[in-house]
Chains A and B, each alone.
Chain A
Amino acid sequence: MPTDNAFVSLLETIYPPGRLLLEAGSRVSYQSDGLTAFAVKPMAIVVPETSEEVIDTIKLCKRENVPFVARGSGTSLSGGSLPVDGGIVIALNRLNRILALDPTLRIARVEPGVINLDVTRAAAPHGLRYAPDPSSQQICTIGGNLAFNAGGAHCLKYGMTSNHVIAVRAVLATGEVVEFGGDSLEGVGPDWTALFAGSEGLFGVALEITLRLLPEVQAFHTVLVAYDSLEAAGQAVSDIVSSGMLPGAMEIMDALAIAAAEAAVHAGYPDGADAVLIVELEGTEEQLACEIPLLSKILDSSGAKEVRVAVDDQERALIWKGRKSAFSAVGRLSPDFIVQDGVVPRARLGEALSEVKRLGEEYNLRVANVFHAGDGNLHPLILYEGSVKGSLERAEKLAGAILNMCARMGGSITGEHGVGMEKRDYLGEMFSEEDIAFMKRIRDAYDPEFVSNPGKMFPGKEAPALSMRGLHPLEQAGVLSRE
């Protein structure tokens, strides 16, 4: 590895001073992502404006053996875009062009720095939308969504990011430029596009991503239901699932999460409920006309305290605003918190929540719960006070205990945030040594020099120093939210 100065001189051959950030202030801005407990100052930040600059940068990094991390808006909750010590950050925000949007083919070809919601904004005039909707969709980028296979509230019905990506043009860690997939939904041979999706930046950097767009949904039916217990809310979800309906989303929040959301955005969630369930049916008007009475019947006999149906788009938006703001809102209840992301078989949600509660008591920490109930994806928010000695360590232990529980129940250590930095030590809870060794060999095939986002996903390397805590600056400003 060259000295920092020598490498910076090489970067200067690609970037003008305004797009090669070296000063301390910039390096601090990029030292953390959505997992704010971790911080590593990068050697430098480069801000490419063209694919060629990205390719040249990666060739240089490979040649000089300098690690790089590609970064969009830095919303990763698993520390996926955390800088690597001695490495550079490739900030892709200026590669934010929608290169093509073809309503006939229902596809959009975008650069990695395009913001998730901007795809739907561009598609909407054509009656189309981009389905994956992570809570951070107002700010997170498609490149990051692809790298970490981002999810959202509609995954049971629509799948995750990889289900909506049909082609990727990427520069691999070796400097090779590849084009996986094409303009067809189908292919011949192994699915290279799918393997690139969710590879957490370990293979290289996507330069152009082709997304599948769906027609806008004709009608929604959104219901907010209040319960006296989480168990009752969970039972309602089971009843809906066994009815044969396939709602677009089913979300549950517990009392602490409700209180936080209410304080933050005044979504008008019912007072004093121990749990709220959001159910959203969507589809053609004719289909909804058949399903709405069925859903009402189930909810009316589910022991609900209150059943509130959104009568217009405004009420629907408010219900979702409460849900999507929940994570950031928890910042009002506690100076610091960890957003956890695990999956359990849906039928074991009740059992899992009891166990989370018991663990919270054991570790003497408050835990707020928000989850995608339809697919068993838990998001416990562990509240701690970083200024109190040992508090973060206890919170991390509790987070680990929750992940162990998810793996033990036959679920997953991550539903949608990815492994990144945060969960790499838990990969072994789901996979054997052989499984992990195999994945490492796949990584080596793409990145033999070990320069592309090294240190993520796989267990083993020492964790970087924990030096930052609290809300992400963008969260404080109210533009970023977590899921």
Chain B
Amino acid sequence: MSSLTAKEIASCLREEGVESSRLLARGSGTKKPLWDLEETSLVEMSGFTGISEYDPSEYVFTARAGTKLSEIEQVLGEHGQYMPFDPPLAECGASLGGTVATGLSGPGRIRYGGLRDFILGVQFVDGNGVIVKSGGKVVKNAAGFDLPKFLAGSMGRLAILLELTFKVFPKPEDFLTICFENKTLADAFDQLVLASRSHWEPDALELEADGRLFLRLAGNSAALRLRAESILNKLKNGFILGTDGANEYWRKVSNFTWNGNKARYAKVPISPRDLLRLDAAVNTVDVECRYGMAANVAWLSWVNDGTTKQVDKVLRDLELSGLVLKGHAGETLIGHRVEYSIQNRVKAVFDPENRFPPLS
């Protein structure tokens, strides 16, 4: 159970003598660039945990921000349910709040939607230390502004997330992964487009820079086998991955270990149209790259300190924005910075005294 209360967390923002220091909430700390900022004190959320409400028949749970994804997945799993957007880093101990603040979804995002499509409600502390609630605790709700979705990806720079409510789905009986080996990334992309437009209902479509396409299906076991056979008749160079091989592949993708443990990893949202252009551009620098969510995101990874600047330039030239998830302090946002005229006014509503770091 939780050793902290919401009121105690809210009081961090009202304590005297700390006005000068900026605050950021930290859950399990799996995404260092998000929390390790200069002159910023941490509000530790690891003591604010627990699933506060879960009724499997409602397809909805509410949990405190510090709750680990793995705990949630386990409890959901006991009732045959799951979070279809595949929140990454679950095995590494990532918390629900950190996942929301980062706006992070995994490969399963393409079938039913991402984190922003499954979040239903939020309770947060604003920069004044006031506890505010938005959204609801039922799967359908249109009352008031949709702050839960807005806060997905807000990096803890607008508010401290306290409690989060999510929609969940029944977990498919089985998963099956097909790997297609193509000579080039362009060939793999053509296959991806076909699969993405098909009625096969792929559960995940992930591209590797070497031309491999991983297509995951989810559903009833018997149905999956038949579906896979029909897909293999339509798309060339594919084979069904064994269970161990598939699990190993998806674990590397989810845990960001595909370029080793020490490397930096960044998320770069792209339009599938940007894929080949970006791939050509990153080939000029020392970066490993893979493309997830049917080529809606590029995951870049690099080891050397000096490379960060080069990646930043490549992304700026292509007007792409990136968020570094794993890596070093002070390297959160890279590439093109998007700023809206409305941004400062909305930030001032959440955080009039600038208690949290600036948005960009």
Footprint of B on A, CB under 8 Å? 103-106, 126-128, 148-149, 151, 155-160, 162-163, 172, 176, 178, 180, 182-192, 194-195, 197-199, 215-218, 238, 241-242, 244-246, 283-284, 286-287, 289-291, 343-347, 372, 375-377, 410-419, 423, 427, 430-432, 434-436, 438-439, 441-446, 457
Contact = CB atoms under 8 A, between A and B. Distances in A.
Contacts of A291: 220
Interface in B120-170: 126, 130-134, 136-147, 149-155, 158, 169-170
B239 interface: no
Given A186-B267, A218-B199, A241-B57, A198 B146 contact: yes
B222 A375 contact: no
Contact of B149 (A195, A242, A246, A442): A195
**Interface-centre pick from A106, A127, A159, A416 (highest chain B CB count, 10 A):** A159
A286 to B, nearest CB: 4
Contacts of B146: 149, 162, 194-195, 197-199
A432 B145 contact: no
B216 interface: no
Contact of A176 (B201, B322, B341, B348): B341
A162 B147 CA distance: 12
Given A189-B360, A344-B138, A375-B139, A195 B219 contact: no
A192 B117 CA distance: 14
Contact of B142 (A105, A151, A289): A151
A283 B193 contact: no
Nearest to B220: A290
B223 to A, nearest CB: 4
Contact of B199 (A216, A347, A441): A216
B351 to A, nearest CB: 12
B321 interface: yes
**Interface-centre pick from B139, B140, B147, B153 (highest chain A CB count, 10 A):** B140
B220 A198 contact: no
Contacts of A104: 193, 197, 272-273
Interface string B231-247: 00000000000000000
A435 B133 contact: yes
B219 A287 contact: yes
Interface residues of B, number: 85
Contact of B341 (A178, A343, A442): A178
Contact of A198 (B145, B196, B340): B145
**Interface-centre pick from A215, A412, A413, A439 (highest chain B CB count, 10 A):** A412
B142 A160 contact: yes
5 nearest interchain CB pairs?
Answer: A194-B149, A183-B271, A286-B223, A186-B269, A218-B199
B342 A375 contact: no
Interface string B25-42: 000000000000000000
B333 interface: yes
A184 B296 CA distance: 5
B296 A412 contact: no
A126 B360 contact: no
A81 to B, nearest CB: 15
B223 A284 contact: yes
Interface stretch (B14-22, B91-99, B107-115, B251-259): B107-115
Contacts of B131: 434
Contact of A159 (B113, B144, B340): B113
B149 A412 contact: no
A191 B145 contact: no
**Interface-centre pick from B267, B269, B321 (highest chain A CB count, 10 A):** B269
A183 B272 CA distance: 8
A373 to B, nearest CB: 11
A159 B117 contact: yes
Given A127-B197, A194-B152, A148 B134 contact: no
A189 B359 contact: yes
Contacts of A197: 146, 149
B173 to A, nearest CB: 8
29 contacts: A106-B196, A156-B140, A162-B146, A172-B342, A176-B342, A186-B297, A188-B321, A190-B152, A191-B116, A191-B149, A197-B146, A197-B149, A215-B196, A215-B198, A241-B57, A244-B173, A246-B169, A287-B220, A290-B222, A343-B141, A346-B59, A347-B55, A415-B138, A415-B141, A430-B144, A432-B133, A434-B130, A442-B147, A445-B346
